Structure 1
Amino acid sequence: MEETEKEVQTPKKSSKTRKWVRGIVWASWLIVLGGFLSIYFIVHAISVDMNGLFGGLPSYKSLENPKNDLSSEIYSADGKLLGKYFRTNRTNVPYDSLSPNVIHALVDTEDDSFFDHSGISFKDLIRVGVKSIILRQGAGGGSTLSQQLAKNLYSTRGDEFEGSLVKNIGNRTIRRGVDLFIVKMKEWIIAVQLERRFTKKEILAMYLNTVPYGSNAFGIQVAAKTFFNKDQKDLNVQEAATLVGVINAPTRYSPKNHPKRSQNKRNMVLGQMLAYGDLTQAQFDSLKVLPIELQYKMDNNNHGMAPYFRNAIRPWLMKWAKNNGIDLWEDGIKIYTTIDSRMQTLAEKALDDHMKALQAKFNHSWDGHNPWIDEKGKEIPNFIENQIKRTHAYRALVKEFGASSDSVDYYLNVKHPMTVFSWQGDVDTLMSTMDSLRYYKRFLQAGFMAMDPHNGYVKAWVGGINYDHFKYDHVMQGKRQPGSTFKPMVYGTAIENGYSPCYQVKDMPYTFQLPKGSTKPTWTPQNADGKFTGENMTLRQAMAKSVNSITAFVMDKVGPRQVVDFASRLGIDIPKSQAVPALALGIADVSVYELVGAYGTFVNKGVYVRPNFITRIEDKFGNVIQEFPPQTKEAISEETAYLMVYMLRGAAEEQGGTAVGLSWELKHNNEIGGKTGTTQNASDGWFMGVTKDLICGTWVGGDSRSIHFKNWYQGQGARTARPIYDKFMRDVYKDESLGITKGAFERPSKPLSTEIDCDVLNSAIYHQEEETPQAETDSTATVAPPKPKLEELDSDDIL
């Protein structure tokens, strides 16, 4: 009976079990179907937004042209990247140029089904659901690369796309949960739309170009440069794996800050590449034990080649960009400059080498005393206390505490850790704000610029001794008194008015009658050594030796207003109020930039070419937006220009000329001209050098005009500025690839109307005077040539 009952009851239990299983299956399918239908309607609702309930989505236009804040790049004439302008440091790389190592590491680790799905990977979603919810194991977020790209491009988690539904939820926990759910739905929608509009290769390239890697590096190219100092295409397997490992958590897995943690993550990526067949077991075993070898250098606007140049032209670029509806910091334009990276490197080295040695001499000459002195050679009292009032730190303290508060003085003198510049390298130390100002004021500064005189292309630009610590540009931004380097404007005016380079004047005191109301009734300029030789000199000799008395004579003959007009035509703007006799000795402030442009006119046959630093600008796709041809104007006659070149050559060819001290290797088989300049108390030293191919200007001086060498002999331009030019030009001639060669200046197309062989001219005048002794002559001009001096004289003028 028991067996019979058992047999009867079994089918009933089996039937109930089957019904229960079928119910569970149907319920599960209904739940899944209901879930998908719910998600469909939610997605639809989010897509249409329902009056701002969900915060909206990117427009179709923005999806077609996603904006990704590209750095604008600035290039040298020979194709070298000089630097960037950016808010977000990012450089685009097309898919075909991407490193295969990076692509394999990324896909294997982040989205192995990337080339198969349409923006959403349901396989990964199920994996995440099972591992995270059921097994309670970490399994990642299940986001595809397309979804991650959507988040990177459109800030889906920011306030821009937050709707009223989320904003009106009071409970913080519920609000965050709802917001996260809506955000994930939006990323799904955008991912699918991106998949419809772009190819898989384009999506992968966009992803690698936008993802952050830490250390202010966005995109694979900048990351490769930042961490390994190489192009991304040159990354080896372990380097590519390291950068892919950084992607999800740049701070946590930074190879710079957490090398061990980064190495473990890298090995995990290598393991994924092994699992998907992109590495062999032998390769994996050999790579996983290697250390991470960084060549770390975080990019910023202070780094790169020619930082003074890039900063100096930035205002011009910003104005141009604004006028053309372009964002310099985000639109990824490419700016092609005239700078030659090879010459720039030579210029920076020449300036650094000389200034390091010159600073040591300067410090030794003062032997611990302060170099800020007055006209009587006495230290200026309260110099630093007055200078500190010009600083941002002082103004900030005054704003916070008030000008009369003791707190201002207290905080200015509180010591705190800082890194300061030295010629032996940066030094970490403890200093107060007052200490640092006192320390930095002792450093000499410099500016150097080289230009092609024929097209105005600026080839090298060094605006100071170290851009990290001294931002002020001494090429264009800084203006100082040029001293004798302005004298060619005076002599050029005379040549234009018919004076010959052979015209002779006696070196003797020359006195100007000053207008009523002046502090003194007369002014008699002194020569550099305070002496007058009484010798007769040609204008060429006088300019070569920088004789003040003869320059003053010439100024009186041509008049200050004509000199101002002449200088203006050569690109030097001088206020009319400074059209006074003392202008002959260079009292009007000018920049290196202006002087180089002016001297270039002499070599360019009288045609002034505005110094040009940009040739063209392209958009991020390589389309030319605008080209910038040289800006020229006829300034002086071809004959006047050549006669001035001949005059400038006198500094290197005449006995006692201030450029005679140039290296023999520069002058050998070469026509070269120059002009030194030194202002009062040797606060400014200048040298201008001219050859057929290059015009160069150099300035050296203190940060403030009150900072001088202890004596004028040490601070004259022949010793402070000329050596920089000398070193630069020697190195330029050694590099044959630059195309800068020695040779003669181009002669005028027509015969000269005046004789420049002074010996022949003087002989003719002598014989003419013997035949007609009663002829009238200028009382200050004679015909006998001066006796040659055997010693070299590197003296210059003082104000």
Structure 2
Amino acid sequence: MAQKQKKKQKSKPSKRPYIIGFWALFGIGLLAVVLVFLLASWGAFGKMPEFEELENPETNLATEIFSSDGETIGKYYSENRTPIKYEDLPDHLVEALVATEDERFYKHAGIDAKGTLRAAVYLGTRGGASTITQQLSKLLFTEDVANNTFARIMQKIKEWVIATRLERQYTKEEIITMYFNKYDFVYQAVGIRSASKIYFGKEAKNLSIEESAVLVAMLKNAALYNPVRRPVLVKQRRNQVFVQMRKNGYISEREEDSLQQLPLNLDFSPEGHDEGMATYFRVYLQGFMQDWIEKNPKPDGSNYSLYRDGLKIYTTLDSKMQQYAESAVERHISHLQKEFDRQNKNNKTAPFRDINKDQVSAIINSAMRRSVRWKQMANKGIDEEEIIASFDKEAKMRVFSWDGIKDTVMTPRDSIFYYKGFLQAGLMSMTPQTGEVKAWVGGTNFKHFKYDHVEQGKRQVGSTFKPFVYATAIDQLKLSPCDMMPKNRFTIEKGKYGNAKDWSPSNAGGEYTGMLSLRNALAQSVNTITARVIDKTGPGPVLDLVSKLGVDTKNFSNGPAIALGTEDMSLYEMVSAYSTFVNEGVYIEPIFVNRIEDKNGTVLYQHIPKARDVMNKEAAYVTVNLLEGVTRNGSGVRLRGTYAKDFTHYKRGVTGYPYDFKNPIAGKTGTTQNQSDGWFMGMVPNLVTGVWVGAEDRAVHFPNLTYGQGATMALPIWGMYMKDLYADEDLEISDGEFPRPDNLSIRVNCDETETDSTSEDNSVPDELDF
């Protein structure tokens, strides 16, 4: 029996080899896993970040442009990312993130073992396993390879490795901050700060709990769960965020119920390069920055990137003043355009006037050759005949209109005609004592009209040039605003100043009798008296003064006709030149950037004012005093809310214009040949503002002076703008007297009783409501 039992025991197989085999396989598997992680950390499966990369993750930071009152007015970026600090994240935003994306965030070290096991057992049907830290590691250092299973496994391993490193290197708060700063919410909203501004029009720290929930809802998939495209779906996802917040104890059930009833309430404000505030200014600033970058390398010799280095540009623009300026331009031009279109209905060459068909064809052909379509087709090697033919093929288009973007069908050639018919405007506002540019409006709509009419465009300035002639005479000859001169015809003989023929200017309205003081002569823009004044000084001293005032005169003629504004100047030049009169004869170069900082706040550039004496205080003051007459008894009298004596024909029974300014205002209107350009330069003691209105081509204009003069085209924009500025007391726009120098020797107080008709037609349009 014992022998039989012994035999039985001998025949029973031993478990020891299996146990050894199990532990050997387990050990090998464990070593294999460790080896895989080690290989991953060594970069065997793709580049892994170095310690320095973890310390300073490679991110593209947008350059941010600030106004003088601290508002963001635009950005330059390859990715629209502006970093934010943890303390600027509202608590409910962080709580919504943790409750929705990673409930055990504060308990794990980068990898959630429980979540990973659950995902493995249920194959992801009960939620994923990626922690916030893993999601950050994926955003920072790895690429999306979702369509390749093996690569996705390797990526997940790298995410785990990176996640554990991130957890060792950073605090939980820093990880959350980096995650919010890195995530792309689409519509150029990279990072939580950009997303807050673009989707809700506010800083992240000011988000409400329901707004925070919307942005957290987008983290699942910003393209799919986008409130602009799919508001219903996003609201459902947002409400699930509230469920998670209640489940994790951040809000009560009652709060959850009430929050779920709230609408999305978006304030969608895209920050593309074509949208937002001060678009024309931002393009000009971009050129300034590129030039600065070329001349100011980093300490290591490399160049700063305007689109990736997170620079901070502190400009002189005031955000409120900029908004008021843009609003004034839009309100007036949209209204003026309706009248312009009405007057063009029976114009056979509309929108052009006073030119023949061949000249029209030349303008259109030139525009075709400058177009993007032409350049793109030419770059592809398409021959010229085929390119020209393409401009006569109808196509679906979305075109600009003052009633909104319109879908239409037209040929590219017809679209050129269409856009040529729009009136444009420019406005620049500057503090004369500092040179700080406070508002810059280069056109009516940057997306559709790229040309900047502040600095890029130069047009005939008309009568707005006359103050330079008078200022020269006052400075050199001590002429007084009270000095009298005859209005009769005046001729400067051929060759006296290099002029090729006799020059004898005409007065508008054909008035040539009587005497006028210089003040009234300038107010009424009398050409013959201006000719007499420049004959006393000669054109040379006038050009010399204008050059000292910052105007590029190298292409100016040197004949006496410059007195009437025959030369082209930019609004930028005009405003800076006029500012010298208010600044007691000291020219200050306009500034628009106060300082530039790097992303760490280190100052890289600080503006140093550039100034020079141009004329004495007395001459500057007398010139300003002379210009005050324009708004008292000249073409600028509309600003006073009253009519000149020839306004009696006005049919609607209105007794005045809506501006009704009572304070001292110096200014000058200007109207050029054929009403192609309308100007108004307006000054108060601490602000000089210039306005230009016209069309892209000089052949596009009003048929007569009623609407085509500067007092109708440009002055109303100045009036609307200044009314808004004065209504905003925080801006502290002066309504006082211009500073008068001590011991003034030139007489400015004139006991004048003479009145006369103005040379610019001050008749009031019957159908345009100012």
Structure 1 length as normaliser, TM-score?
0.84
What residue in structure 2 maps to residue 168 of structure 1? none
Q: Distance in 1 between matches of 2:358 and 2:706?
A: 19
Alpha carbons of 1:224 and 1:598: their partners in 2 closer, same or farther (altered >3 Å)?
Answer: same
1:23, CA displacement in angstroms?
Answer: 7.3
Q: How does 1:292-691 map to 2 (within 5 A)?
A: 292-322=264-294, 323-324=296-297, 325-369=303-347, 370-373=349-352, 380-382=359-361, 383-400=363-380, 402-405=382-385, 407-501=386-480, 502-514=482-494, 521-529=501-509, 531-575=510-554, 578-653=557-632, 655=633, 657-664=634-641, 669-691=662-684
Q: Distance in 2 between matches of 1:632 and 1:559?
A: 26
What residue in structure 2 maps to residue 148 of structure 1? 135
1:348, CA displacement in angstroms?
Answer: 1.9
Q: Identify the match of residue 709 of structure 1 among 695, 702, 726.
A: 702
Unaligned runs of 5+ residues in structure 2 are 298-302, 642-657, 763-770
CA contact (8 A) 1:89 1:218 kept: yes
1:611, CA displacement in angstroms?
Answer: 1.6
Q: Equivalent residue of 1:313, what SS?
A: helix
Alpha carbons of 1:28 and 1:309: their partners in 2 closer, same or farther (altered >3 Å)?
Answer: farther
> Mean Cα displacement is larger for which, 416-425 or 469-478?
416-425
1:615, CA displacement in angstroms?
Answer: 1.9
1:156, CA displacement in angstroms?
Answer: 4.8
In the TM superposition, what whole-angstrom CA distance separates every residue of 1:2-37 from its partner, at most 9, and x where no partner exists? xxxxxx99x989x97xx76x8777655544443332
What residue in structure 1 maps to residue 67 of structure 2? 76
> Mean Cα displacement is larger for which, 389-398 or 662-671?
662-671
Q: Equivalent residue of 2:680, what SS?
A: strand
What residue in structure 2 maps to residue 164 of structure 1? none
1:584, CA displacement in angstroms?
Answer: 1.3
**Does residue 1:788 correspond to 2:754, yes or no?**
yes
Q: Identify the match of residue 753 of structure 1 among 740, 745, 748.
A: 745
Q: How does 1:118-197 map to 2 (within 5 A)?
A: 118-132=109-123, 137-138=124-125, 142-156=129-143, 176-197=148-169
Q: Distance in 2 between matches of 1:690 and 1:548?
A: 23
1:757, CA displacement in angstroms?
Answer: 3.6
The one-letter amino acid paired with 2:576 is G
> Mean Cα displacement is larger for which, 601-610 or 123-132?
123-132
Q: Distance in 1 between matches of 2:581 and 2:195?
A: 48
Q: Distance in 2 between matches of 1:453 and 1:447?
A: 19
What residue in structure 1 maps to residue 39 of structure 2? 45
Q: Which has the larger radius of gyration?
A: 1
Alpha carbons of 1:668 and 1:246: their partners in 2 closer, same or farther (altered >3 Å)?
Answer: closer
In the TM superposition, what whole-angstrom CA distance separates every residue of 1:704-744 from its partner, at most 9, and x where no partner exists? 12211112342111111111112222232222221113111
What residue in structure 2 maps to residue 35 of structure 1? 29
1:546, CA displacement in angstroms?
Answer: 1.2
Alpha carbons of 1:29 and 1:308: their partners in 2 closer, same or farther (altered >3 Å)?
Answer: farther
1:758, CA displacement in angstroms?
Answer: 4.5
Q: Distance in 1 between matches of 2:175 and 2:305?
A: 24
Unaligned runs of 5+ residues in structure 1 are 2-7, 159-171, 760-784
The one-letter amino acid paired with 2:343 is S
1:680, CA displacement in angstroms?
Answer: 0.6
> Mean Cα displacement is larger for which, 736-745 or 198-207?
736-745
What residue in structure 1 maps to residue 735 of structure 2? 742
Q: Equivalent residue of 1:414, what SS?
A: coil
Alpha carbons of 1:730 and 1:212: their partners in 2 closer, same or farther (altered >3 Å)?
Answer: closer
1:287, CA displacement in angstroms?
Answer: 4.5
Q: Equivalent residue of 2:561, what SS?
A: helix
1:667, CA displacement in angstroms?
Answer: 7.0
Q: Distance in 1 between matches of 2:611 and 2:455?
A: 19
Q: Distance in 2 between matches of 1:500 and 1:368?
A: 49
The one-letter amino acid paired with 2:159 is E
Alpha carbons of 1:120 and 1:80: their partners in 2 closer, same or farther (altered >3 Å)?
Answer: same
Task: Give the root-mean-square deviation of aligned CA atoms.
Answer: 3.3
Structure 2 length as normaliser, TM-score?
0.87
The one-letter amino acid paired with 1:44 is L
**Does residue 1:112 correspond to 2:103, yes or no?**
yes
Q: Equivalent residue of 2:185, what SS?
A: strand
In the TM superposition, what whole-angstrom CA distance separates every residue of 1:43-69 from its partner, at most 9, and x where no partner exists? 3334444xxx54432233222112322
CA contact (8 A) 2:344 2:351 kept: no
Q: Equivalent residue of 1:212, what SS?
A: coil
CA contact (8 A) 1:661 1:794 kept: no
In the TM superposition, what whole-angstrom CA distance separates every residue of 1:329-388 from its partner, at most 9, and x where no partner exists? 222222222222222222222222211221122122222424454657989442434432
Alpha carbons of 1:95 and 1:404: their partners in 2 closer, same or farther (altered >3 Å)?
Answer: closer
The one-letter amino acid paired with 1:214 is V
Q: Equivalent residue of 2:332, what SS?
A: helix
Alpha carbons of 1:23 and 1:604: their partners in 2 closer, same or farther (altered >3 Å)?
Answer: farther
Q: Distance in 2 between matches of 1:184 and 1:672?
A: 70
What residue in structure 2 maps to residue 162 of structure 1? none
1:569, CA displacement in angstroms?
Answer: 0.9
Q: Equivalent residue of 1:214, what SS?
A: coil
Alpha carbons of 1:244 and 1:577: their partners in 2 closer, same or farther (altered >3 Å)?
Answer: closer
CA contact (8 A) 1:639 1:752 kept: yes
What residue in structure 2 maps to residue 167 of structure 1? none
In the TM superposition, what whole-angstrom CA distance separates every residue of 1:741-793 from its partner, at most 9, and x where no partner exists? 31111011x4123333455xxxxxxxxxxxxxxxxxxxxxxxxx8x7226566
Q: Identify the match of residue 212 of structure 1 among 166, 184, 194.
A: 184
Q: Distance in 2 between matches of 1:517 and 1:351?
A: 40
Q: Equivalent residue of 1:418, what SS?
A: strand
Alpha carbons of 1:23 and 1:352: their partners in 2 closer, same or farther (altered >3 Å)?
Answer: farther
CA contact (8 A) 1:373 1:380 kept: no
The one-letter amino acid paired with 1:660 is V
